[in-house]
Amino acid sequence: ATQGRLEISDPSFAEIPEPDFRMARVASIRFDHEVNNLTMEQQRDRLVEQLNLAGGVGPDIVITTEFTPVIGVPESEYGSFWNAAEAVPDGPVCRIASAAAKRHNMHVIVGNIERRGAHMFNTAVLFGRDGSFIGQYDKTHLTFGELELGVSCGADYPLFDLDFGRI
């Protein structure tokens, strides 16, 4: 705004202790987009396989791509994102991520499609080392394609304190 104004009154600074330094081991999973003939169940099986491979290297956290449930699955198989969307934290993809987190003692962030009431979100779901649901982030800056497909914008930027740091 050309006529905007910012006013700061009574600013203060406080010294905070330096945080403990800890290296975190991070693994990421990328699915081959060239494969485009899977069923939803085959994609879930592929997710289990990839999480187990990643878990085998002892990461603190593993993250998958967004839209994990439908990567490599033709749209004719699932119909629409709305049909492929699931409940968080207890839908099929979330159950797989939770089980892998617990099995490999790692945090897992899985890119998912969530149906919440009348809305659908591109959401990143976080599970703890014990498989418990910690929280989620709904994507806030959507592509035009996502908007055209009915994906709703998230409104928050949550932070999560994990045993190796804040994400």
Q: What is the chain's Cα-based Rg?
A: 19
Q: What is the pLDDT of residue 138?
A: 98
Q: What is the pLDDT of residue 161?
A: 92
SS3 content of the chain, % helix, strand, coil (to 5): 25, 25, 50
Q: What is the pLDDT of residue 20?
A: 73
| Rounded-to-integer distance, Cα 41 and Cα 47, Å | 10
Tokens 């919440």, residue located: 116
Q: What is the pLDDT of residue 9?
A: 87
Q: What is the pLDDT of residue 1?
A: 52
Q: What is the pLDDT of residue 12?
A: 87
**pLDDT by position in tens, the chain (length 167):** 577 787 888 888 888 888 777 899 999 999 987 778 999 999 999 999 999 999 999 999 999 999 999 999 999 999 999 999 999 999 999 999 999 999 999 999 999 999 999 999 999 999 999 999 999 999 999 999 999 999 999 999 999 999 998 89
pTM (whole model) above 0.75: yes
Contact 106, 129 (CB under 8 A): yes
Q: Which amino acid is at 56?
A: G
